[in-house]
């Protein structure tokens, strides 16, 4: 078995859990390859006897990996997908951060969770991805032109709202007068979109949601659409540029740039332990329907 490991930060008091992970994998004769910068952080804080192979870029990965561990929080998983991309390698999130809605394996349960994974007692939850292109076409996004949570447009360097002229499959939908607009996947529906009043969608829903950010037109509400729609956005405002964010990656585009958003031809595979589910995570992490009468 071959497993990749990625982390962004070395969280306080997480060293013991990282050591548990590496020791457990070593005892089970698993081949481990660690992202170069994270490996340097581990070696800086811990005395690791074993020498591990490392990777630095997407090009160094291939289909020989059986699994990928993302150590951190949900933001770390969103960075992990920029390495995995369309390779289809299942990603297991180990939560050493705070909420950890995507990173569902708790650090205190590493040994038991790894045992379940090594004995194939898990299933894979495929997650839809959205991609972006610009008109006129440019290389602003490069190969990282996709997002798992959301693609959002927003105002830049101004307190004035922007107008987001929106079309679906070439048909005009609406002009949103707002601070911006979020195009969220089912996975992203529990993130930024939810905080702006959007609905929660099940991960396997074949849908996207358009959620305005602080809209000025009060009859503009979040809209769920089929994920086979191509969304075209044209921006106008007092500034000459606007911001586009793909998950946590931010870019600046001139107002005369039109963007088109659609479902990607590949998905990201998330690992869910056999006793886990989205509904359980919703209740546990978001206190869904919490009521003393229940």
194 is in an annotated binding site: yes
| SS3 label, residue 18 | helix
62 is in an annotated binding site: no
CA angle 205, 61, 143 (to 5 degrees): 60
Distance between CA 150 and CA 178 in Å, rounded?
Answer: 17
Q: Give the gyration radius of the chain's Cα atoms.
A: 20
- 74 is annotated as an active-site residue: yes
149 is in an annotated binding site: yes
Q: Which residue has the tokens 């075209």?
A: 232
195 is in an annotated binding site: yes
193 is in an annotated binding site: yes
Find the catalytic residue in 47, 49, 74, 240.
74
191 is in an annotated binding site: yes
User: 119 exposed, middle or buried (CB, 10 Å; 0-12, 13-18, 19+)?
Assistant: exposed
284 is in an annotated binding site: no
281 is in an annotated binding site: no
75 is in an annotated binding site: yes
Q: How many Cα atoms sit within 13 Å of 66 on the Cβ side? A: 10
Distance between CA 203 and CA 124 in Å, rounded?
Answer: 12
Those residues whose C-beta lies under 8 Å from the C-beta of residue 237, and which sit 6 or more positions away, are 155, 158, 160, 161, 162, 163, 255
CA angle 279, 280, 281 (to 5 degrees): 90
17 is in an annotated binding site: no
192 is in an annotated binding site: yes
Q: Residues forming the annotated binding site for NAD(+)?
A: 74-75, 79, 149-150, 179, 190-195, 214
Q: Residues forming the annotated binding site?
A: 74-75, 79, 149-150, 179, 190-195, 214
Q: Give the residue numbers annotated as catalytic, written as ranges.
A: 74
């Amino acid at each position: 078995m071959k497993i990749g490991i990625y982390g962004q930060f070395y969280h306080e008091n997480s060293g013991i859990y990282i050591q548990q992970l590496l020791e457990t994998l070593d005892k089970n004769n698993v081949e481990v390859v660690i992202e170069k910068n994270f490996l340097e952080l581990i070696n800086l804080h811990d005395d690791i006897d074993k020498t591990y192979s490392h990777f630095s870029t997407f090009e160094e990965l291939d289909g020989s990996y059986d699994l990928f561990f993302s150590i951190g929080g949900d933001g770390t998983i969103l960075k992990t997908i920029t390495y995995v991309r369309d390779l289809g390698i299942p990603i297991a999130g180990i939560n050493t951060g705070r909420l950890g809605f995507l990173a569902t394996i708790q650090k205190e349960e590493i040994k038991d969770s790894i045992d379940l994974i090594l004995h194939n007692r898990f299933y894979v939850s495929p997650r839809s991805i959205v991609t972006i292109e610009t008109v006129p076409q440019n290389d602003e996004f490069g190969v990282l032109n996709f997002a798992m949570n959301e693609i959002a447009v927003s105002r830049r360097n101004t307190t004035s709202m922007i107008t987001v002229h929106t079309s679906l499959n070439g048909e005009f939908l609406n002009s949103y007068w707002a601070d911006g607009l979020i195009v969220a996947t089912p996975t992203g529906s529990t993130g930024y979109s939810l905080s702006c009043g959007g609905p929660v969608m099940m991960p396997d829903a074949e849908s996207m949601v358009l959620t305005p950010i602080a809209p000025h037109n009060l009859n503009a509400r979040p809209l769920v659409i089929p994920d086979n729609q191509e969304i075209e956005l044209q921006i106008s405002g007092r500034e000459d540029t606007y911001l586009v964010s793909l998950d946590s990656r931010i870019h600046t585009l001139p107002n005369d740039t039109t963007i088109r958003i659609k479902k990607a031809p590949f998905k990201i595979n998330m690992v869910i332990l056999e006793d886990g589910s989205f509904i359980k995570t919703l209740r546990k992490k978001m206190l869904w329907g919490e009521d003393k009468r229940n």
